[in-house]
């Protein structure tokens, strides 16, 4: 009799099949988690402020440059507004790393996978969130820079010619560039899982490794062109800077990003949480 009563009062736990959890619902869930962490707001805001400040500081520095220095003898050019985007983007790549590694550190990843058994959906959702945030940061910060730069330059009697297609490439390219770097961060965080190790690996890959070929090979400069930051930066560089060109350079960055993401997805599927 007591057994029947216990069975009647016991809570019913329903396990949802993987097919019942949509990708859209997973993205919404990940967005709620992203918004709930103050550190995410701080890092994203910091990246936005750095990019906006660069867009203002570069034309300002041009107006007040040391005209007695040979290095200062150049014409103003629109790409100066976004030429540090890739290096500031490392902040967003680190933010992406923290999105996944912090779940492993807190053991929350187990809860996430219990709610969404399809692991690829979780990974795609996280990548979509950080890529969307990064894209928005890049587009808005560069748009602010291009809106203010002509005013700042005009104050010193300077200016530059900027055609609409070039403006679109630089503004949208800033967002695309940062989105690719952030997905690369998600991939590295998924593969490595440890917070400190993944952050260090991201910084080493993006900043330190590209310098090594130049130290040990006569072809170092040529090799360095094909690393993520260097290749992706061509999207925001003056045309003719490199034979690869803006979109080919960005394609190289995408190859890095997609290859890393595929490895991350395979690793995520095969390892225990």
Decide if pLDDT at 2 tops 60: no
How far apart, in whole angstroms, are the C-alpha atoms of residue 200 and residue 47?
18
Tens of pLDDT, residue by residue over 139-167, are 999 999 999 999 999 988 888 888 999 99
Mean pLDDT comparison of 8-12, 42-46, 63-67, 107-111, highest-scoring range: 42-46
pLDDT of the residue at 198: 97
Name residue, tokens 């993006």: 206
Tens of pLDDT, residue by residue over 6-54, are 444 444 434 445 446 789 999 999 999 999 999 999 999 999 999 999 9
Query: How far is CA 260 from each of CA 17, 58, 127, 209, 251, rounded to the nearest angstrom?
Result: 29, 33, 12, 16, 14
Q: Which residue has the higher pLDDT, 66 or 8?
A: 66
CA atoms within 13 A on the CB side of 79: 16
Among 131, 127, 98, 130, residue whose Cα is nearest residue 200? 98
Decide if pLDDT at 176 tops 60: yes
Tens of pLDDT, residue by residue over 185-222, are 999 999 999 999 999 999 999 999 999 988 888 888 88
Are the C-beta atoms of residues 198 and 188 closer than 8 Å to each other? yes
How far apart, in whole angstroms, are the C-alpha atoms of residue 220 and residue 209?
11
How far apart, in whole angstroms, are the C-alpha atoms of residue 126 and residue 166?
31
**pLDDT tier at 73, thresholds 50, 70, 90:** confident
Among 78, 87, 86, 95, residue whose Cα is nearest residue 38? 95
């Amino acid at each position: 009799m007591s057994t029947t009563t216990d069975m009647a009062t016991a809570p019913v736990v329903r396990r949802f099949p993987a097919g019942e959890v949509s990708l859209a619902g997973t993205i919404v869930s990940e967005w709620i988690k992203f918004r709930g962490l103050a550190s995410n707001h701080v890092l994203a805001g910091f990246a936005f402020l750095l990019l906006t400040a660069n867009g203002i500081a570069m034309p300002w520095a041009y107006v007040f440059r040391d005209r007695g220095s040979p290095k200062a003898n150049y014409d103003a050019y629109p790409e100066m507004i976004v030429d540090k985007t890739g290096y500031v983007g490392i902040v967003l790549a680190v933010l992406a790393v923290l999105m996944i590694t912090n779940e492993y550190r807190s053991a929350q990843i187990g809860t996430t996978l219990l709610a969404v058994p399809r692991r690829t959906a979780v990974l795609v959702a996280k990548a979509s969130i950080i890529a969307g945030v990064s894209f928005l940061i890049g587009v808005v910060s560069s748009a602010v820079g291009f809106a203010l730069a002509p005013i700042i330059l005009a104050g010193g009697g300077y200016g530059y010619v900027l055609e609409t297609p070039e403006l679109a490439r630089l503004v949208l390219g800033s967002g695309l560039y940062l989105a690719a770097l952030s997905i690369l961060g998600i991939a590295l965080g998924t593969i490595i899982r440890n917070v400190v190790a993944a952050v260090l690996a991201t910084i080493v890959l993006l900043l330190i490794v590209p310098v090594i070929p130049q130290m040990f090979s006569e072809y170092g400069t040529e090799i360095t062109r094909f690393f993520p930051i260097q290749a992706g930066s061509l999207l925001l560089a003056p045309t003719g800077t490199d034979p690869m060109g803006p979109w080919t350079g960005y394609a190289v960055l995408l190859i890095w990003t997609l290859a890393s993401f595929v490895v991350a997805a395979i690793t995520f599927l095969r390892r225990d949480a």
